[in-house]
């Protein structure tokens, strides 16, 4: 059990005690003066001195208290605030220089502050070369991992994620199990993977395994990192398309082969027998029957070959190289290839999705554009995408006459040297199940070249590409205690913490008010992750009062179509995982996310920055989030105050500012922090609801 050190009495108690003593003394002096005045019957100056003497005690107490408040207690409180800020952040601003009777400490305090800064600067200089080298290696690693298309995961011997790259984030988009410090079995919860990890050799030899993930199959290659602390590297490949191909068209081809062999063998046998019969008896009935067999088998063989040809064309056309492509991206890529002095294409009409092998299609159009520019006598064309029933028509339009068939045929036979094996244009067209023809527009002034292409099952334009998250690795996780260690004994700096906040329809949660927004962020190894966040609007299934809208700005239109609380809470619980949760005035937010009948239990330890701050600085007023943000020089980015995610971020930063102050008092484990927090909770029953 952690024993809290004595702190200054609270200002309200001091003022109350001072006013009480002063009032009692003055009142007693008045009563005593009235009694003596009536007993002695004095007059003139004697009576004045009597009253002054009787009231002098109370007046002295009042004046001494006023002097102590201005010259000692107020400077002490200001000194406490400045020291708390200095411990949390040595570079924070200095708003309260020593004053009153403590004014003489000003130079000493400044000297301590400057010496602290100088020591930190010397330490930073001493580590500059090492830090630069580490930064360079880290940047090279980050660049390599981010441009690598293969999804990578690195976990420690406790199966906690130390690293993942952008490709892995895309593969597991929206999965709550992906995050630094989270367990691998939350992402891929299968026993076969666990068995494979246990049996991995230490020499880095790979092991391969197929892993189901939602509706996909992932091909995982596992390697133990040599000369490490049992870290394991996983490279993943989505093999769903390949398996579909194996089980679809390729399987159909395999099934057709025995039938083709049978018909071919029957045809050869019948032909050999027919030759023998015709030699011995040209007009025999057996010869006629053999001819019928040859004719029947030949027709069946032709039908099977035609069917196989269609299957192979479908495989060629619908292979993995044909991927969804947004037409505006195609035009942009063409413009970038030709530059300012090449053929210019102006997109017209509505953009659309199509399926294509983008490099091959770009090479094909590269070979086509100079021909069209020469034919049209102009270097400015228009591009349009038209939707058909099952196809997308890619049209290149110019002012003039149509392109003749001989010119098109010459173009189809042209080799595309920019592609592997230099295929012909006709080969690329066949790959896309396409052809090319020229036709005139209805206005009689324009003509176009049309390429029919497969359509993609998409409607909306592509989402903007999000920048890579700035944190995708933290090797310090490997030094954390094992996840099965006694949580209460875990050091505060090694905790996985989720700071959260809620916005509600009002403050009467027990009378029907409910959540309209949940925001949270994650702290791993005492580091706030910038992009690992949870931000979700919630449909309260009731109108939001104007008074609440004035605070958080969330209207009924903002939550229209949002999930209800019954759907949002399981998602939030998945995001928390095995972390400790953190909130400011946690009692309110815990009540908000655990309504009656909610069905989701949040039974993990809870840290409350309000109670911790009150326990650390009992004598200071102002423990609301705004006051503490000002005290520790924290800032709310514009527009984020009274938003769930914005308040959660500041709460997380406040926790990181309180950490060094807790450690300075010997409070280093979760158990000790919860004990300190409980003592403040017991004293302040006003915050119990």
Reported as a single tens digit per residue, the pLDDT across 318-346 is 445 677 888 888 888 888 777 666 788 88
The model's pLDDT over 579-623, given as tens digits with 9 standing for 90+, comes to 999 999 998 999 999 888 878 889 889 999 999 998 888 877 788
Distance from C-alpha of 555 to C-alpha of 539, rounded to nearest angstrom: 10
Q: Does domain 323-454 have CATH number 3.40.140.10?
A: no
* Residue 529, pLDDT score: 86
Q: Is the pLDDT of residue 78 over 70?
A: yes
pLDDT, tens digit (0-9, with 9 covering 90-100), for 413-427: 999 887 777 888 988
Tell me the C-alpha distance between 230 and 107, whole Å: 53
Distance CA 264, CA 302 (A): 10
Alpha-carbon span 287 to 369, nearest angstrom = 61
Mean pLDDT of 534-552: 92
pLDDT at 336: 78
Strands (E), 239-365: 323-326, 344-348, 353-356
Rounded average pLDDT over 110-126: 74
The token pair that represents 95 in the structure block: 């708003």
Q: Is the pLDDT of residue 547 over 50?
A: yes
Q: What are the residue ranges spanned by the domains of the chain?
A: 11-80, 148-167+200-320, 323-454, 485-688
Question: Cβ contacts of residue 423 below 8 Å, gap of 6+?
Answer: 360, 415, 416
Model pLDDT, residue 104? 66
pLDDT at position 217: 77
CA atoms of 160 and 612, how far apart (whole Å): 29
**What is the rounded distance in angstroms from the CA atom of residue 633 to the CA atom of residue 559?**
33
Collapsed DSSP state (helix, strand, coil) of residue 491: strand
Q: Report the alpha-carbon distance of residue 550 to residue 45 in Å, rounded.
A: 65
Model confidence at 247: pLDDT above 50: no
What are φ and ψ of residue 561, in 5° steps? Answer: 85, -5
CB atoms within 10 A of CB 498: 23
Share of the chain above pLDDT 70, in %: 79
Residues present in the chain in total: 689
pLDDT of residue 341: 66
Distance CA 518, CA 515 (A): 7
| Residue 536 binned pLDDT confidence (cut-offs 50, 70, 90) | very high
pLDDT at residue 7 in the model? 46
Q: Is the dihedral of CA 124, 130, 134, 139 positive or negative?
A: positive
The top-scoring range by mean pLDDT among 48-62, 71-85, 454-468, 614-628 is 614-628
The helices-and-strands tally (H runs, E runs) of the chain is 22, 17
Q: Which residues, in sequence order, are bridge partners of residue 669?
A: 491
314 or 170, greater pLDDT: 170
**Helix, strand, coil percentages, rounded to 5, for the chain:** 50, 15, 30
Burial call 210-230: b when 16+ CB within 10 Å, e when fewer: ebebeeebbbbebbbeeebee
Statement: residue 254 has pLDDT above 70: no
Is the domain spanning 485-688 CATH 3.40.50.1580? The answer is no
**What pLDDT score does 443 carry?**
87
- Between 104-118, 231-245, 556-570, the lowest mean confidence (pLDDT) is in 104-118
640-669 tens-digit pLDDT:
888 999 999 999 999 999 998 898 888 999
Residue 67 confidence (pLDDT) above 80: no
Task: Specify the higher pLDDT residue, 482 or 506.
Answer: 506
- pLDDT level of residue 134 (50, 70, 90 thresholds): low
Residue 99 confidence (pLDDT):
77
Find out whether 618 and 663 touch, Cβ atoms under 8 Å.
no
Backbone φ, ψ for residue 490 (5° rounding): -70, 135
Task: Please give the biggest Cα pair distance in the chain.
Answer: 170
pLDDT (0 to 100) of residue 206: 84
| CB 375 within 8 Å of CB 407 | yes
User: pLDDT at position 659, please?
Assistant: 92
- Long-range pairs of 105-112 with CB within 8 A, sequence gap ≥ 24: 105/79, 109/79, 109/82
Q: Tell me, what's the pLDDT at 79?
A: 76
Predicted confidence at residue 477, as pLDDT, reads: 58
DSSP lists the bridge partners of residue 233 as 154, 223
How confident is the prediction for the chain on average, in pLDDT? 80
Give per-residue pLDDT as tens, 430-471: 888 889 999 999 888 999 999 999 888 776 677 665 554 555
CA 285 from chain centre, in angstroms, equals 81
Model-wide pTM > 0.85: no
Residue 448: its H or E element: strand 446-454
């Amino acid at each position: 059990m952690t024993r809290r050190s004595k702190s200054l009495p609270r200002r309200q108690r001091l003022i109350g005690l001072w006013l009480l003593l002063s009032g009692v003394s003055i009142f007693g002096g008045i009563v005593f003066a009235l009694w003596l005045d009536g007993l002695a019957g004095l007059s003139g100056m004697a009576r004045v001195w009597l009253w002054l003497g009787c009231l002098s005690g109370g007046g002295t107490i009042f004046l001494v208290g006023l002097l102590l408040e201005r010259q000692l207690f107020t400077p002490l409180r200001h000194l406490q605030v400045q020291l708390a800020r200095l411990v949390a952040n040595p570079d924070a601003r200095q708003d309260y220089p020593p004053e009153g009777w403590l004014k003489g400490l000003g130079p000493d305090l400044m000297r301590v502050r400057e010496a602290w800064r100088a020591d930190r600067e010397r330490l930073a200089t001493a580590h500059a070369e090492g830090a630069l080298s580490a930064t360079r290696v880290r940047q090279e690693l980050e660049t390599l991992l981010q441009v690598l298309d293969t999804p990578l995961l690195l976990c420690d011997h406790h199966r906690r994620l130390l690293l993942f790259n952008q490709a892995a984030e895309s593969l597991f988009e929206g999965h709550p199990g992906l995050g630094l410090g989270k367990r691998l079995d939350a992402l891929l919860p299968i026993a076969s993977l666990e068995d494979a990890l246990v049996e991995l050799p230490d020499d880095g030899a790979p092991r391969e395994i197929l892993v189901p993930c939602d509706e996909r199959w992932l091909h995982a290659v596992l390697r133990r990192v040599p000369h490490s602390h049992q870290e394991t590297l996983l490279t993943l490949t989505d093999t769903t398309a390949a398996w579909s191909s194996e089980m679809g068209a390729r399987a159909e081809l395999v099934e057709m082969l025995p039938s083709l062999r049978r018909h071919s063998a029957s045809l050869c046998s019948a032909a050999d027998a027919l030759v023998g019969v015709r030699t011995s008896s040209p007009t025999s009935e057996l010869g006629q029957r053999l001819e019928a067999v040859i004719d029947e088998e030949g027709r069946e063989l032709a039908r099977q070959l035609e069917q196989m040809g269609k299957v192979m064309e479908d495989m060629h056309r619908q292979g993995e190289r044909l991927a969804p492509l947004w037409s505006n991206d195609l035009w942009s890529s063409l413009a970038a290839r030709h530059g300012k002095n090449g053929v210019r294409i102006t997109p017209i009409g509505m953009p659309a999705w199509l399926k294509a092998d983008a490099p091959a299609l770009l090479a094909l159009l590269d070979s086509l554009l100079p021909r069209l520019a020469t034919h049209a006598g102009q270097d400015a064309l228009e591009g349009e995408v038209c939707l058909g029933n099952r196809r997308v028509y890619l049209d290149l339009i110019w002012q003039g006459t149509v392109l003749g068939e001989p010119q098109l045929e010459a173009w189809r036979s042209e080799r595309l040297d920019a592609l592997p094996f230099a295929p012909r244009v006709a080969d690329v067209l066949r790959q896309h199940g396409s052809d090319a023809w020229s036709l005139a527009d209805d206005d009689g002034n324009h003509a176009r070249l049309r390429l029919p292409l497969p359509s993609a099952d998409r409607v909306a334009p592509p989402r903007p590409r999000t920048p890579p998250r700035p944190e995708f690795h933290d090797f310090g996780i490997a030094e954390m205690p094992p996840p099965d260690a006694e949580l209460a004994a875990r050091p505060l700096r090694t905790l996985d913490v989720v700071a959260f906040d809620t916005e509600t329809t009002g403050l009467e949660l027990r009378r029907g008010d409910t959540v309209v927004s949940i925001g949270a962020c994650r702290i791993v190894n005492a580091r706030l992750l910038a992009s690992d966040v949870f931000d979700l609007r919630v449909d309260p299934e009731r109108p939001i009062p104007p008074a609440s809208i004035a605070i958080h700005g969330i209207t009924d239109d903002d939550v229209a179509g949002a999930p209800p609380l019954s759907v949002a809470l399981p998602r939030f619980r998945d995001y928390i995982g095995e972390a400790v949760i953190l909130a400011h005035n946690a009692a309110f937010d815990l009540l908000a996310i655990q309504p009656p009948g909610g069905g989701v239990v949040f039974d993990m330890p809870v840290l409350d920055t309000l109670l911790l701050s009150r326990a650390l600085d009992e004598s200071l007023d102002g423990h609301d989030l705004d006051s503490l943000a000002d005290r520790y020089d924290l800032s709310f980015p514009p527009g984020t105050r009274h938003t769930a995610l914005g308040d959660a971020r500041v709460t997380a930063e406040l926790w990181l500012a309180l950490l060094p102050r807790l450690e300075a008092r010997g409070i280093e484990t979760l158990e000790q922090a919860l004990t300190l927090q409980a003592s403040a909770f017991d004293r302040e029953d006003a915050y119990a609801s």
